[in-house]
Amino acid sequence: MMRNLQPMDELYNHDAMALAELVSKGEMTAGELLEVVINRIEKLNPKLNAIEQMNIELAREKARQGLPDGPFKGVPSFIKANIDFPGFSTTYCSRGFADTPAITYTSPLAERYIEAGLNIIGKSTLPEFAYNTHTESKLSGLTRNPWNPSLTVGGSSGGAAALVASGIVPMAHGTDGGGSCRIPSSHCLLLGLKTSRGRHVDVGRIPPVLETQTNQMLTRSVRDLAMSFMITERRGDNASLPELGFISGPSSKRLKIAVGLKTADGQSADADVLDVIMQTAERCKLMGHDVVELDFLPYHVDEFRDQFLKMLAIMTQRMADRFKENKGRPVADDDFEKLQMHHLGAIPDDPEAELNRLMEIASKISDSFDRLFESYDLILTPTVPVVAKEAADRSIDKDPISLLAAGRRDGRFLAFVNTTGHPAMTVPAGFNPDGLPVGAQFIAARGAEDTLFSIAYELEDEIKWSRHWPPISVAFAGS
C-alpha cells in the first residue's frame, strides 16, 4: 500500500482549504491553480473516465474575472451530473436526457458553492439517474476505480470518488439517496457524509418523491468536509435544526459507541470487512471511548429494501414523465437502460400507498434507533459489506435482477438512514489483506453531525489515511 511517491505536481497533497489559502494569500492565482488541475485531468482521466462533461473555457473565464472570497476561493471542483448547476446541462448520465440544454438558473445549493469561491469545471459521472451502486452508463461509459481499474468504483457518486481519490481535485460534489456518497467513498478511501434530513439547502426546482437524498462533498480531509457542511447548512429562519457551523476539530468528550455488525435478520458483512470494523472499534477504545457490541441492529433488511425498490420504480416513472414532456413521446427501449426499463415495469398500482408504507417501515426503524441513541452517541457499522468487486460482474448489460441484488447487498447498512433522516458518515478505516480500502460507518442521532465530525477528526489523526494514495493518482508521476 505504501509506495515511493513521485508526485505529478507540488500541490498534490494540499486539501481544498490549503489550496484556497494559497489563492487568498496571492501565492498563486485561481487561473494558475486551474491549469494545474487541467493538467491532472489530461493525464489521469483517460484512465478513469470520471468526467461526464466539462466547460474549461467557462472555468478559465471565472478565474480571470475573479472568484468570491469564500473558504474555497479558486478551488476547482465538479458537480454530480444529476444536479443542476448554471452553465452545464443536467443529463443524469442518461441517453434520454443527453441533449438537455445548459442550466441558466442558480439553485440555493449552487449559490452557496459559488459564494464559497469554488470554480466548477464540469460534471462527474454516475449510473443512469443515480439508481445503481456501480458507476457505468450507456451515455458516459464505465468509471474506473483508482485503486484498481478492473474493480467497480461504487456508486452512485462514483465519478466524484474517482476524481477525489486520484487527487485530480481535492473534493467533488455527490448525492446520497441510499448510500451513494458512502459506497464509493468506502471503495476509494474517502470521507462520505449523509446529513440529517432538512440540514442542507435545496438543490433544484422539482421537489423529490420523498426527502431521502442529501448533497455533500466527497473529500480526503475532515476539515474540507466540515467546511463543505457549513457552507451548505440551512441558516436562520430556514433552519429546521440548530446550526452547527464549522466544526474545526474533535470534542474532548468521550463517547459511548455501539458496534452493530449484523441486522435483525442476520445479514452481515464479509470477514475481511468485519476485521477492519473491529479494528476501528478497538482504536476507539484506545482513544478512551466506551465501546460495546450490539447483538444486532434493530431493522430487517429485506422488508425495508423491497419497499425501497418500489420507491425507485416510482422515481423512474417520474423521470419517464419528464422525458415525455421534453420529447412529446413515451420512453422507448433505447432511451433508458435495461435497469430503468425494469423499474418502469414494476410500477405499483397505488404509488402513494407504497410510499406511505415505506415511511411507516422507516418510522419504526427510526424509533428503534432513537431508543439506541438514548444510551449511545454513535453506532459503528460496516459501510459496504464487501470490498470493491470486479466491474465486469456489475456490467449494466447484465440481467437487472442480478444488478438489483448487488445493490441490495451494497446498501445493507446504508439506505435505511436515508429514510429515517439520521446522519451517517463513512471514514477511511483501513485495508483488507489485498490492499483494498474499507470504510467504517458511524451513525448519529438526528442533528448530531458534530459528533460524527468529532470521531472523524480523531480517527484522521490516528490512522493518517492521507498518506495512502492509489496507483492511479497525482502521487505517482507514472500513473
Residue 142 belongs to what domain range? 16-467
Neighbours of 206 (CB within 10 A): 9
Residue 53 located in a structural domain:
yes
Helix (H) / strand (E) containing 460:
helix 449-463
Helix (H) / strand (E) containing 256:
strand 256-259
Q: What cell numbers appear for 348 in the block? A: 405499483
Query: Angle CA(373)–CA(374)–CA(377) in degrees, nearest 5?
Result: 45
DSSP 327: H
Check residue 1 and give its pLDDT: 47
Residue 330 located in a structural domain:
yes
Residue 234 located in a structural domain:
yes
Residue 7 located in a structural domain:
no
Which residue, 158, 151, 145, 223, is CA-closest to 184? Answer: 158
pTM: 0.98
**Would you tell me the crossing angle of helices 351-372 and 301-327 to the nearest 10 degrees?**
140
Residue 11 located in a structural domain:
no
Task: Report whether 135 contacts 184 (CB < 8 A).
Answer: yes
Q: Give helix then strand counts, H and E, for the chain.
A: 14, 15
Residue 477 located in a structural domain:
no
* pLDDT tens sequence for the chain (479 residues): 456 789 999 999 999 999 999 999 999 999 999 999 999 999 999 999 999 999 999 999 999 999 999 999 999 999 999 999 999 999 999 999 999 999 999 999 999 999 999 999 999 999 999 999 999 999 999 999 999 999 999 999 999 999 999 999 999 999 999 999 999 999 999 999 999 999 999 997 767 778 899 999 999 999 999 999 999 999 999 999 999 999 999 999 999 999 999 999 999 999 999 999 999 999 999 999 999 999 999 999 999 999 999 999 999 999 999 999 999 999 999 999 999 999 999 999 999 999 999 999 999 999 999 999 999 999 999 999 999 999 999 999 999 999 999 999 999 999 999 999 999 999 999 999 999 999 999 999 999 999 999 999 999 999 999 999 999 999 996 54
Task: Report whether 200 contacts 232 (CB < 8 A).
Answer: yes
DSSP 113: H
Residue 4 located in a structural domain:
no
Residues in the chain: 479
Tell me the CATH number at 212: 3.90.1300.10
Residue 339 located in a structural domain:
yes
Strands of 36-131 (E only): list them.
Answer: 51-54, 76-80, 119-124
Strand, coil or helix: 398: coil
Q: Please state the domain count of the chain.
A: 1
**HSE of 338 in the Cβ direction (CA atoms, 13 Å)?**
11
